[in-house]
Each structure stands twice: as C-alpha cells, then as structure tokens.
C-alpha cells in the first residue's frame, strides 16, 4: 500500500454548466506605479478579503478577468493588473518588456499596496511572469494559479495569436469585432464587443487601434518578453515552485497541449491540474463558471489546509505491485464518467474503487508517493 504523502499533479475537471445569472458586482479603476511607470489595475471585492493579484496574457488587459471578478468578488479582493505596455498602463519608454521588468512591476504593486503576500494568478504571458516572480519571491506567494501556460507552447497556437494581433493596425471598431469573432468562435458578439472595448482605443481619424504597445505588434517586445530563458531553464523554474499550484488548461486550447500540461503538473512539487471544458486558450472568458469553480475549490482547499488531503486521501489504496505499469497505462489517456473528465499522466496518483471491472474516480489526487504503508 502507498501512504497519502504525494508529489505531482492530477487533471480532473467537472463539466461545469454555463448558468444564466444576473451579475451586479462592479470594480474600481485604480493606478499605482513601478518606478516612473504608471500602472493601471481594476480592483474588485472587499478590502479585507484574501488578495488575488492577476496577470493577464499577451495583448489584452486586466479586464480579461472581469467575468471572474463578477463571480468571485464577494469572497476575494482582486487586483487585476494592466501589465506594462498593455491596457491603460503606460508603455515603457525604453521598450523594456523583459521578464525581469514585468517581475519588478509585480513586486512594486505588491509592495506599493502593502500586501505581505498574495495569491498570484497568471494567464499565458502573465503566467510565465507569475512563475518567474514566484521563483524569485516564494515567500510572497501563498498560492499560484497558472492559466493555460507551461514551459512549452504549441507553435501553431502562438502563430494564430500573432496573426490576429499583427493584422491591420487601424480599423473600424466593428471590423475588429468581426476579426475577434472569427478568432474565438466560443464567445457571443456581445461578449466580444465588451472585451474589445477594453483592448482598443479610438483615433482622431475615426478608426480604432490596439491599446498595447506597437513594439509588441512589430515583434520587438514580443520577442524580448519571452526569450530570456531556455526551455530547460523554464522547466527548472516550474519544478522548483514552492507554493501550492493550480494549473488550468482549456480543453480546446491550441497553446498548452494535454501532454505538456500533464508533464508540467507531474513535475511541480504540489500541483493540481484541471482541464476546463468548453474553453480554449482564454479560459476565464470562454467558460467563466468552470474557471471560477475550479479556482475557488482550489483556494478553499488551500485556505482550509485541505490541499494535501484533497489531493491524497489517507485511506490506503489498492495499487498493483507494478506501479509503473499502471502509470504507463494511464499516460496521455482520458477517461470520462458522466459530468467528469479525468486525465492522468506519469507521476500521478489516482483514487480508485473497483466497480464492475472499471475504476470510478472520486477525487483529486497527486502522483509519486514517497512512503509505503
């Protein structure tokens, strides 16, 4: 038998329904500074709530987490940052969009707002910034939420984003909306219009253009912001993450493959991998209910000290003598039971009950067990 102490991650996601609801929560527009650079952010929730500092992905802004704010701000204080060169934050006059500059901004925001530590959340580019910040300041991060990001990204998906953002620089607002609807077919036109309102700014000639720094669109900023670390160094960063980690993958993502997601969760010391259905790369907006359910369940477990228990029940589990054979059998496979998608890879521990010759999986668990009972 294996003990309950585990290492690694397991992917498990309920098929969260998109529920009709009336959302009335609102945010406050705020600004702070990193050196001489003005940074904008949206603040949601009560001043005394646990703080989530959210870092958006490439080309967007803190508003990509608006749907999450509407759903979670009754419990959490959300600081959704417009990272340098994006949204309503200032562009870097010297063109410094290196990882170090983004990390310095996060530390300036944390320190400036007086937070001893934060729950750090990052999507895509913001996820890599969150990983680097956590690597450099582990004592400042109580929990880490990574959204559709890993040490490796699928080239096809990256190319799709580049083609979308490097199209014509000036268009009518409706033309931008139509382009965005073709890029992401999961959203309604109403949702796309609201999102584009935060991503674009009007020009004097009546046209609209992107808010984020043109140097990103020309390649300079985009290249410099992602090329400081080699693939091996990025993998090492993920392996050495200290706090509890939630890794979220959109089931239809063309950026983070299932294989890379499973490997990433398996190599992080304390990780949970959740695959969110009906979502692509932009998980928070594609399936906001599923995203919110996954995040709040994770934070509930961490906050109550239940994270280890949620991942590994103390009840002994009947596991075949050849554990490697079991792992090989589950690697890169997906098993479905009604309402639940569960994916297990190498170095993943599974809670299993034999029934009618099949495994019924009941809860999150994590991989390599260190002790035997």
pLDDT tens per residue, range 64-110 = 999 999 999 999 999 999 999 999 999 999 989 999 999 999 999 99
State percent of the chain over pLDDT 70: 72
pLDDT of residue 158: 87
pLDDT level of residue 311 (50, 70, 90 thresholds) = low
Check residue 372 and report its DSSP letter.
B
| Of the listed ranges 49-58, 64-73, 197-206, 298-307, the one predicted with least confidence | 298-307
- β-pairing, 51-55 with 37-44? unpaired
Report the Cα 16 to chain-centroid distance in Å. 17
Determine the 3-state secondary structure of 334 from DSSP. Answer: strand
| Of the listed ranges 20-29, 271-280, 282-291, 361-370, the one predicted with least confidence | 361-370
Determine the 3-state secondary structure of 129 from DSSP. Answer: helix
Tokens of 35: 């050196």
- Average pLDDT of the chain is 78
pLDDT of residue 240: 96
State percent of the chain over pLDDT 90: 59
pLDDT level of residue 165 (50, 70, 90 thresholds) = confident
Domain boundaries, the chain: 11-153+214-308
pLDDT of residue 346: 29
Q: Quick one: average pLDDT of 41-47?
A: 97
Q: Give the global pTM.
A: 0.77
Q: Measured between alpha carbons, how far is 303 from 298 in angstroms, rounded to an integer?
A: 9
325-354: per-residue pLDDT in tens? 433 333 333 332 222 233 333 233 322 222
206-229: per-residue pLDDT in tens? 999 999 998 887 765 444 554 567
Find, among 77, 62, 95, the residue nearest to 216 by Cα. Answer: 95
Token pair 């009007």 is found at 202
Token pair 């253009």 is found at 209
Q: Quick one: average pLDDT of 127-144?
A: 97
Q: What angle do CA 289, 190, 192 make, to 5 degrees?
A: 80
Q: Which residue has the higher pLDDT, 283 or 309?
A: 283
- Find the distance separating the first CA and the last CA of the chain, reported in whole Å: 5
pLDDT of residue 109: 99
Tell the CATH topology of 11-153+214-308.
Rossmann fold (3.40.50)
């Amino acid at each position: 038998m294996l003990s309950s102490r585990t290492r690694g991650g397991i992917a498990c996601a309920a098929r969260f329904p998109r529920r009709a609801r009336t959302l009335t929560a609102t945010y406050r527009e705020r600004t702070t500074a990193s050196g001489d650079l003005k940074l904008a952010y949206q603040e949601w929730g009560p001043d005394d709530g646990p703080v989530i500092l959210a870092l958006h992905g490439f080309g967007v802004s803190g508003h990509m987490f608006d749907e999450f704010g509407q759903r979670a701000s009754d419990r959490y204080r959300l600081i959704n940052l417009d990272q340098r060169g994006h949204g309503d934050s200032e562009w870097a006059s010297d063109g410094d969009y290196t990882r170090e500059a983004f990390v310095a901004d996060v530390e300036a925001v944390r320190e400036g707002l007086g937070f001893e530590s934060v729950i750090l959340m990052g999507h895509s580019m913001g996820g890599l910034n969150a990983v680097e910040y956590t690597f450099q300041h582990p004592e400042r991060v109580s929990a880490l939420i990574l959204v559709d990001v890993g040490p490796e990204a699928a080239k096809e998906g990256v190319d799709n984003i580049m083609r979308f953002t490097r199209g014509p620089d000036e268009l009518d607002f409706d033309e931008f909306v139509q382009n965005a609807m073709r890029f992401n077919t999961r959203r309604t036109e109403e949702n796309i219009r609201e999102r584009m309102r935060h991503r674009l700014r009007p020009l004097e000639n009546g046209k609209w253009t992107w808010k984020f720094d043109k140097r990103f669109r020309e390649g300079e900023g985009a290249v410099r912001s992602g090329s400081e670390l080699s693939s091996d160094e990025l993998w090492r960063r993920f392996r050495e993450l200290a706090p509890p980690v939630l890794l979220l993958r959109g089931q239809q993502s063309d950026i983070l493959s299932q294989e890379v997601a499973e490997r990433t969760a398996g190599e992080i010391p304390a990780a949970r991998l959740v695959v969110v259905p009906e979502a692509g790369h932009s998980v928070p907006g594609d399936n906001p209910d599923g995203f919110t359910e996954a995040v709040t369940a994770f934070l509930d477990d961490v906050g109550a000290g239940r994270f280890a228990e949620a991942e590994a029940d103390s009840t002994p589990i009947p596991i075949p003598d050849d554990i490697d054979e079991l792992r090989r059998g589950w690697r890169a496979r997906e098993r479905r039971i009604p309402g639940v998608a569960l994916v297990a890879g190498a170095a993943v521990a599974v809670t299993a009950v034999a029934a009618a010759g099949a495994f019924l999986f009941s809860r999150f668990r994590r991989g390599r067990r260190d002790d035997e009972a």
